[in-house]
Amino acid sequence: MADYILETKDMGISFGGLKAVQNVNLRIEKNQIYGLIGPNGAGKTTVFNLLTGVYKPTAGTFYLDGEELKGLSQEKINRKGIARTFQNIRLFNNMTVVRNVMVGLHNHPDFKCSLWTSLFRLPRHFRCEKEMRARAKELLRIFDLEEDRNNLACNLPYGKQRKLEIARALATEPKLLLLDEPAAGMNPHETEDLVRTIKTIRERFDMTILLIEHDMKFVSGLCDEITVLNFGTVLAEGETKKALADPEVIRAYIGG
């Protein structure tokens, strides 16, 4: 069990009588890029919401690196090591780019600084701020956002906003990164750039990534394994090429 970074066991949720997602068994190994695909309304984002604590699973459970995280709050799950981005970008719009990343560093053990230290401006506060800013800049450099660091987040172009959201999620030093439709609304040029970025993240941070995506070219070019959801249940899973060739999957997407 401990071989898997993320393992879900018969995880599901029902809202009243509606079984939104049921019997999801994901097994993600370390350093994998794992895809979660399916037609609209299949329950992909619901799975993400279950994994990040927005919803609590009503059936089954899930483990991160062997530790059961079911029932914890969003903040706690993030601190345990799951970070995410959103389908519709959610940045701190009225803050500068570098500050967005610094919020991500908030709970980092290297920058511990209590409320009282900050309120009375003890020396530790200054050291902590300086180091946080330096670390945030380092992260921005990896994402090629360093030049924009003093711009407001809302003034960035779309592709850069996506990148910033990923940078902020990575700042929390997660074990597993969840990307919810990272390529949605991007032009081919930006998508290409994103593929490069995601590959860099995997190598550089030794990161495990679970992503939702509709762009099949993107998925087949990037993911090692995928799970296909339809109507809240698993339709197919396994190696990307094989799963995509599954007749059930083709029928779900194209119909017939």
Query: 84 near 136, Cβ under 8 Å?
Result: no
Q: Which residues contact 188 (CB under 8 A, 6 or more apart)?
A: none
Contact call for residue 175 and other proteins (CB under 8 A): no
Contact call for residue 159 and other proteins (CB under 8 A): yes
Sign of CA dihedral 159, 165, 170, 171: positive
Query: 44 near 229, Cβ under 8 Å?
Result: yes
Count of alpha carbons within 13 Å of 162, Cβ hemisphere only? Answer: 21
**Contact region with other proteins (CB under 8 A), list: 18-26, 89-97, 204-212, 222-230:** 89-97
Closest CA to 11 of 48, 65, 66, 42: 48
Contact call for residue 161 and other proteins (CB under 8 A): no
Total residues at the site for other proteins (CB under 8 A)?
43
β-strand partners of 230: 233
The nearer residue to other proteins, 75 or 248, going by C-beta atoms, is 75
The nearer residue to other proteins, 118 or 155, going by C-beta atoms, is 118
**Contact region with other proteins (CB under 8 A), list: 16-24, 153-161, 195-203, 239-247:** 153-161
Q: Which of 35, 57, 104, 232 binds other proteins (CB under 8 A)?
A: 104
Question: Which residues lie near other proteins (CB under 8 A)?
Answer: 52, 73-75, 78-79, 83-84, 86, 90-95, 99, 102-107, 111, 113, 115, 118-121, 125, 128-129, 132, 157-159, 168-169, 172, 187-190
